[in-house]
Chains A and B, each alone.
Chain A
Amino acid sequence: MSANGPVLEAVKLTKHFAVKRGLFSGSRGVVRAVDGISFAIPTGQTLGVVGESGCGKTTTAKLVLLLEQPTGGLIRFEGRDLETLGGTNLRDYRRSVQAVFQDPYASLNPRMRVGTIIAEPLVTNETVEAAEVRQRVRGLLDVVGLPDRAADLFPHEFSGGQRQRIAIARSLALSPKLIVLDEPVSALDVSIRAQILNLLRDLQAQLGLSYLFIAHDLAAVAHMSHQIAVMYLGQIVETGAAETVAREPKHPYTQALFSAALPSHPEEVREEIILPGEVPSPLNPPAGCRFHPRCPFSMPRCSAEEPRLLPVEGRLAACHLYDQKP
Chain B
Amino acid sequence: MALNTPAVNVPVAWRLAALRLGGFPVIPTAILASIALVAILAEVIAPYNPEIGTLGDRFRPPFWQVGGSEAHLLGTDHLGRDVLSRLIFGARVSMVVGFTAVIFAGVVGTSLGILAGYLGGWVDQVIMRVTDAWLAIPALTYAIFLAAIVGPSMWNVVIILAVVYWTRYARVIRGEVLSLKERDFVRLAIVAGCSKRTIMKKHILPNVLNSAIVLGTLMLGVVIVTEAALSFLGVGVPPPKPAWGLMLSDGKKGMMAGYWWLTVLPGCCIMLMVLAANLLGDWLRVKLDPQLRQL
> Could you tell me which A residues sit within 8 Å of B by CB distance?
65, 67, 91, 94-95, 97-99, 101-103, 106-112, 117, 120-121, 124-125, 154, 156-157, 167, 170, 173-174
Contact = CB atoms under 8 A, between A and B. Distances in A.
B291 A110 contact: yes
Given A67-B191, A94-B193, A98-B191, A111 B290 contact: yes
Contacts of B189: 109, 120
Contacts of B257: none
Contacts of B184: 101-103, 106-107
Interface of B: 183-185, 187-195, 198, 202-203, 206-207, 288-291, 294
A67 B187 contact: yes
B193 A91 contact: yes
Contacts of A120: 189, 192, 194
A103 B183 CA distance: 10
Specify the main secondary structure of chain B where it touches its partner.
helix
Contact of A65 (B183, B191, B294): B191
B193 to A, nearest CB: 5
Contacts of A117: 185
A263 to B, nearest CB: 32
Given A111-B207, A124-B193, A125-B193, 19 more contacts: A67-B187, A67-B190, A91-B193, A94-B191, A95-B193, A101-B188, A102-B184, A109-B202, A110-B289, A110-B291, A111-B290, A112-B202, A112-B206, A117-B185, A120-B189, A154-B290, A156-B294, A157-B294, A170-B192
A118 B264 CA distance: 56
Nearest to A113: B290
Contact of A121 (B185, B193, B195): B193
B179 to A, nearest CB: 11
A107 B188 contact: yes
- Interface core residue of B191, B291, B294 (most chain A CB under 10 Å): B191
Contacts of B183: 106
A110 B207 contact: yes
Contacts of A109: 185, 189, 202-203, 206-207
A102 B198 CA distance: 24
Contacts of B207: 109-111
Instruction: Give the 7 A-B residue pairs with the shortest CB-CB distance, closest first.
Output: A121-B192, A106-B184, A111-B206, A154-B290, A107-B184, A101-B184, A156-B291
A101 B187 contact: yes
A117 B290 CA distance: 15
Contact of B185 (A108, A154, A174): A108
Nearest to A167: B188
18 contacts: A65-B191, A67-B187, A67-B190, A94-B191, A94-B192, A94-B193, A107-B188, A109-B203, A110-B289, A111-B206, A117-B185, A120-B189, A121-B193, A124-B192, A124-B194, A124-B195, A157-B294, A170-B192
A98 B202 contact: no
A62 to B, nearest CB: 9
A70 to B, nearest CB: 17
